[in-house]
């Protein structure tokens, strides 16, 4: 059978997946109007907020389509469809024959027919191009206005506020998100939005967008005006029915489908935001997966019925937790609210049955409530159900409870995947089931479910020594109580590190940190890299990266590096991502000689330590530079170098928000802005990509360095071993970190700085000096051998000979 899927959005993708899961042979062609493979439109707001790239939003990699023989046509909108002859005409004129066709044409943004809607500076919020233009506009806009205070409008507003662009949300109704929220929740949501820097204007009907050649403001009914030079319109969507209408299909607010997802023509189906089922056009993602599954069954000749979905929505605005399910108001309701904490939890009851829920500020147990509403469960005591939901853990959820609404994955599927494929980690579960691969808000629950199946206890602490089940805190306490100064003493005191030895490098770090680097160093507790101060490679040779502060070097240094490369026949000389130079393939024996010839200090590129501070040229040469990135970067590197850390620490200082030094994705990033510096923490651009959080903004480079060092010390003292800053900041919470690093009245920042100074004073800025001052006679060398005439049997005290005998 030849199946044509028209539309390359979430719905089109879901249909392809649902068909392929059930039939390995059907020929599937997918037409994507946009010039790109299907992406997760639900997460467009992340793009707007600068928290990811379009590539991150992609639903499946190219291999997925080739492996599953799905013929994807990019940039190939359909122009006409003839269901009777089974021919689809593309814009390009190409004809595609099909036996069945599924319309997944989605929706367009609704643009109100008001004067000025066509002015430059007015955007819809619907595609990546919109995001790009909005972000570009936000950089110079004095004020942005978002017309529409629904889910998308609020996400757009938050995204704009994140770009430091003053923003107003203009809403027609008397409360935000009036379709999903009741008065109580909307009343709390408004101040929460305002706290994020979003002005909320309610009961404003935009009469015209004004401007001479470019938008300059909004005029509301009644004459009031709002000055703004960027407008984002997000008042709703309209099903895209052009193709369906042309094909003579019955259309109302959407393409009318029956319970089998068939349109008025038996060989045409419709799924997603373009479809109207029992009078409802769903503008949310969750029903898509249910519809796609039914559509696939219908296509393959199996009876199946879609009976509608419970509306459920989640606001994807960082700092606001909001989930709504079903109806926000009804005949009866139970409400638990804490105005001060901004928490509002409501369960709506209709005819004695669960009919809806609104959870703001505390969304625990929303999966349970969604299930209760779906099942229209009889609820005798609504308050008790709310309380039960608050306390619900993953174990309490039935297998049928939907965990990931973006990809329609139930708890039972995750458990089965973990069991059948022997998965161990939440990351593996996400890769296998796609639960958590959408907006990501269910990731903690996915992790909990994986732990349920793997048997790890849900709140198992992170053990520094797993063999002896000892945490970092416990071991630090033992050290302090007994005044211990080495790993051996710690092992003797409580056994940590005695069994498998894997935690010894972690213990070594702990010992050095607690003692402010005045510990007794024991190399047996160190990984080989830290015994010979170079990074071991897969062939047992080492890589050598000298320190090149801020990425600034000189002709003389480069000449020495070149000479070393020649003299030692270095197989590869490589520029690193951290603006340094890597000499690869050095034997251990040659390390001291190479260091001597280089005559440059160690770059600590082999250690869990401060690595490098990347810089851009800043004000030195760049015509856009706002701050002295090189000066601040070199000084920051100088003050951090030699300090060991729970995991590696990468930093960058960049001279303007163009971010050439990639400071947004470093553990510590310093960004010059007009009149000051921003300090970002917890950024990542490795296996995970995460934009750092703004720790604070300061006026001078020296202040920026001070804040960065205070944070560094806080991280050194509080993170678990091998926990990167981005994991630590997420675990601890930005607020806690800010309080510890910035609240001078508490005295903690001053104490952190003092302990930093103490640790720094005793840190070794250049371990490569051990080339002249070996810590053991054969630190870098092999043992010398010579034949001996000796009767070993007579002396035998050593271990038995080879076990195979």
Partner 1 sequence: MIGTTHVGSAADVPMLEGRAATVDGRRIAVFRLDDGFAAVDHACPHAGGPLSDGIVAAGCVTCPLHGLRFDLYTGVAANGDARVAVHEVVERNGELYVRLAAVEMRPAA
Q: Which residue, 402 or 491, has its beta carbon nearer to partner 1? A: 491
Q: Which residue, 556 or 792, has its beta carbon nearer to partner 1? A: 792
Based on the shown chain and the rule CB under 8 A, indicate whether residue 523 belongs to the binding site for partner 1: yes
Within 470-499, which residues bind partner 1 (CB under 8 A)? 497-499
Based on the shown chain and the rule CB under 8 A, indicate whether residue 773 belongs to the binding site for partner 1: no
Site string for partner 1, 537-566 (x = CB under 8 A): -xxx--------------------------
Q: Which of 90, 111, 431, 536 binds partner 1 (CB under 8 A)?
A: 536
Minimal distance, residue 508 CB to partner 1, in Å: 10
CB under 8 A: which stretch of 187-195, 198-206, 653-661, 793-801 binds partner 1? 793-801
Which has the closest alpha carbon to 142: 214, 213, 93, 70?
214
**Would you say 47 and 144 are in contact if contact means Cβ atoms under 8 Å apart?**
no
Beta-bridged to residue 345, according to DSSP, are 336, 359
Tokens describing residue 124: 């819809």
Based on the shown chain and the rule CB under 8 A, indicate whether residue 623 belongs to the binding site for partner 1: no
The CA distances from residue 702 to 479, 699, 747, in Å, are 35, 9, 20
Residue written as token pair 């929303």: 366
Based on the shown chain and the rule CB under 8 A, indicate whether residue 500 belongs to the binding site for partner 1: yes
Beta-bridged to residue 124, according to DSSP, are 233
Query: Parallel, antiparallel, or unpaired: how do β-strands 230-233 and 144-147 relate?
Result: parallel
Give the whole-angstrom CA distance, residue 498 versus residue 475: 14
- Give the 3-state secondary structure of residue 641: coil
Minimal distance, residue 538 CB to partner 1, in Å: 6
CB under 8 A: which stretch of 3-11, 438-446, 673-681, 785-793 binds partner 1? 785-793
Minimal distance, residue 499 CB to partner 1, in Å: 5
Based on the shown chain and the rule CB under 8 A, indicate whether residue 97 belongs to the binding site for partner 1: no
Minimal distance, residue 487 CB to partner 1, in Å: 10
Please count the CA atoms within 13 angstroms of the CA of 668 that sit on its side-chain side: 29
Minimal distance, residue 451 CB to partner 1, in Å: 22
Minimal distance, residue 797 CB to partner 1, in Å: 6
Give the whole-angstrom CA distance, residue 9 versus residue 288: 11
Based on the shown chain and the rule CB under 8 A, indicate whether residue 776 belongs to the binding site for partner 1: yes
CB under 8 A: which stretch of 65-73, 334-342, 518-526, 684-692 binds partner 1? 518-526
Based on the shown chain and the rule CB under 8 A, indicate whether residue 84 belongs to the binding site for partner 1: no
Minimal distance, residue 796 CB to partner 1, in Å: 7
Minimal distance, residue 591 CB to partner 1, in Å: 12
Minimal distance, residue 650 CB to partner 1, in Å: 23
Based on the shown chain and the rule CB under 8 A, indicate whether residue 422 belongs to the binding site for partner 1: no
Question: What is the full DSSP assignment across 512-578?
Answer: HHHTTT-S---GGGS-HHHHHTSEE-TTS-EEE-B--GGG---HHHHHHHHHHHHHTT-SEEEE-TT
Based on the shown chain and the rule CB under 8 A, indicate whether residue 800 belongs to the binding site for partner 1: yes
Based on the shown chain and the rule CB under 8 A, indicate whether residue 584 belongs to the binding site for partner 1: no
DSSP 763: S
CB under 8 A: which stretch of 260-268, 382-390, 659-667, 795-803 binds partner 1? 795-803
Q: Which residues contact 485 (CB under 8 A, 6 or more apart)?
A: 511, 515, 518, 519, 520
CB under 8 A: which stretch of 203-211, 245-253, 417-425, 528-536 binds partner 1? 528-536
The sign of the CA dihedral 310, 316, 318, 319 is negative
Give the whole-angstrom CA distance, residue 549 versus residue 216: 47
Instruction: Please count the other Cβ atoms lying within 10 Å of the Cβ belonging to residue 746.
Output: 11
CB under 8 A: which stretch of 268-276, 444-452, 730-738, 774-782 binds partner 1? 774-782
Phi then psi for residue 16, to 5 deg, are -60, -45
Interface residues with partner 1 (CB under 8 A)?
A: 497-502, 504-505, 523-525, 527-528, 531, 536, 538-540, 588, 776-778, 782-792, 795-805
């Amino acid at each position: 059978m030849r199946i044509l899927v028209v539309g390359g959005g979430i719905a089109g993708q879901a249909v392809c997946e649902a068909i392929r899961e059930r039939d390995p042979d059907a020929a599937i062609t997918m037409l994507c109007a946009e010039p790109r493979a299907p992406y997760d439109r639900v997460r467009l707001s992340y793009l707007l907020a600068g928290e990811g790239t379009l590539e991150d939003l992609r639903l499946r990699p190219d291999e997925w389509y080739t492996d599953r023989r799905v013929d994807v046509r990019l940039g190939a909108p359909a122009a006409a469809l003839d269901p009777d002859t089974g021919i689809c005409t593309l814009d390009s004129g190409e004809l595609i024959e099909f036996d069945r066709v599924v319309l997944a044409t989605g929706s367009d943004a609704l643009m109100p027919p008001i004067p000025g809607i066509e002015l430059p500076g007015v955007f819809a919020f619907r595609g990546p191009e919109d995001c790009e233009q909005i972000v570009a506009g936000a950089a110079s806009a004095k004020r942005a206005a978002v017309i529409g205070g629904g889910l998308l409008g609020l996400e757009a507003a938050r995204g704009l506020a994140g770009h430091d662009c003053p923003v107003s949300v203009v809403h027609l109704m008397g409360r935000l998100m009036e379709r999903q929220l009741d008065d109580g929740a909307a009343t709390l949501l408004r101040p929460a939005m305002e706290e994020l820097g979003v002005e909320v204007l309610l009961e404003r009907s935009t009469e015209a967008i004004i401007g001479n050649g470019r938008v300059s403001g909004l005029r509301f009914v009644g004459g009031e005006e709002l000055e703004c030079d960027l407008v984002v319109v997000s008042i709703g969507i309209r099903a895209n029915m052009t193709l369906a209408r042309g094909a003579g299909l019955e259309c109302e607010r959407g393409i009318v489908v029956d319970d089998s997802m068939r349109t008025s023509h038996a060989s045409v189906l419709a799924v997603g935001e373009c479809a109207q089922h029992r009078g409802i056009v769903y503008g949310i993602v969750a029903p898509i997966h249910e519809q796609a599954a039914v559509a696939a069954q219908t296509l393959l000749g199996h009876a199946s019925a879609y009976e509608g979905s419970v509306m459920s929505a989640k606001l994807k605005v960082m700092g606001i937790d909001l989930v709504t399910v079903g109806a926000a108001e009804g005949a009866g309701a139970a409400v638990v609210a804490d105005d001060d904490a901004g928490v509002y939890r409501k369960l709506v009851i209709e005819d004695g049955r669960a009919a809806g829920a609104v959870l703001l500020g505390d969304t625990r147990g929303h999966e349970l409530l969604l299930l209760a509403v779906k099942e229209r469960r009889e609820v005798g005591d609504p308050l008790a159900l709310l309380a039960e939901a608050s306390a619900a853990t993953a174990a309490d959820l039935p297998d049928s409870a939907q965990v990931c609404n973006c990809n329609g994955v139930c708890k039972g599927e995750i458990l089965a995947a973990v069991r059948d494929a022997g998965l161990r980690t939440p990351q593996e579960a996400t890769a296998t089931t796609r639960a958590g691969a959408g907006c990501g808000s269910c990731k903690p629950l996915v992790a909990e479910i994986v732990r349920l199946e793997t048997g790890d206890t849900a709140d198992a602490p992170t053990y520094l020594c797993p063999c002896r089940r000892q945490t970092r805190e416990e071991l630090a306490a033992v050290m302090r109580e007994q005044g211990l100064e080495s790993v051996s003493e710690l092992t003797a005191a409580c056994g940590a590190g005695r069994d498998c030895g894997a935690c010894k490098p972690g213990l070594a770090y702990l010992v050095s940190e607690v003692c402010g680097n005045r510990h007794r160093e024991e190399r047996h507790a160190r990984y080989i890299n830290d015994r010979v101060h170079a990074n071991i490679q897969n062939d047992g040779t080492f890589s050598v990266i000298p320190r090149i502060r801020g990425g600034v070097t000189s002709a003389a240094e480069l000449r020495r590096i070149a000479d070393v490369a020649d003299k030692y026949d270095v197989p590869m000389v490589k520029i690193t991502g951290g603006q340094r130079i890597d000499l690869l393939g050095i034997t251990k024996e040659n390390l001291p000689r190479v260091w001597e010839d280089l005559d440059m200090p160690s770059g600590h590129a082999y250690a869990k330590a401060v690595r490098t501070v990347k810089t851009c040229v800043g004000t030195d040469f760049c015509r856009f530079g706002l701050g002295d990135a090189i000066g601040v970067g070199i000084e920051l590197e100088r003050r951090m170098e030699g300090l060991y850390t729970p995991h590696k620490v990468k930093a960058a200082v960049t001279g303007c928000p163009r971010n050439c030094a990639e400071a947004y994705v470093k553990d510590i990033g310093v960004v010059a802005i007009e009149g000051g510096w921003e300090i970002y923490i917890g950024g990542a651009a490795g296996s995970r990509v995460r934009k750092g959080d703004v720790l604070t903004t300061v006026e001078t480079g020296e202040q920026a360095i001070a804040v960065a060092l205070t944070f560094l010390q806080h991280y050194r003292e509080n993170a678990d071993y091998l926990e990167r800053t981005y994991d630590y900041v997420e675990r601890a919470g930005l607020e806690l970190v800010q309080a510890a690093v910035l609240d001078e009245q508490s005295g903690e920042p001053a104490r952190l700085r003092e302990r930093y100074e103490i640790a720094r004073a005793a840190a070794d800025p250049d371990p490569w000096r051990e080339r002249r001052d070996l810590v053991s006679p054969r630190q870098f060398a092999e043992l010398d051998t010579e034949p001996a005439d000796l009767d070993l049997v007579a002396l035998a005290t050593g271990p038995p000979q080879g076990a195979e005998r």
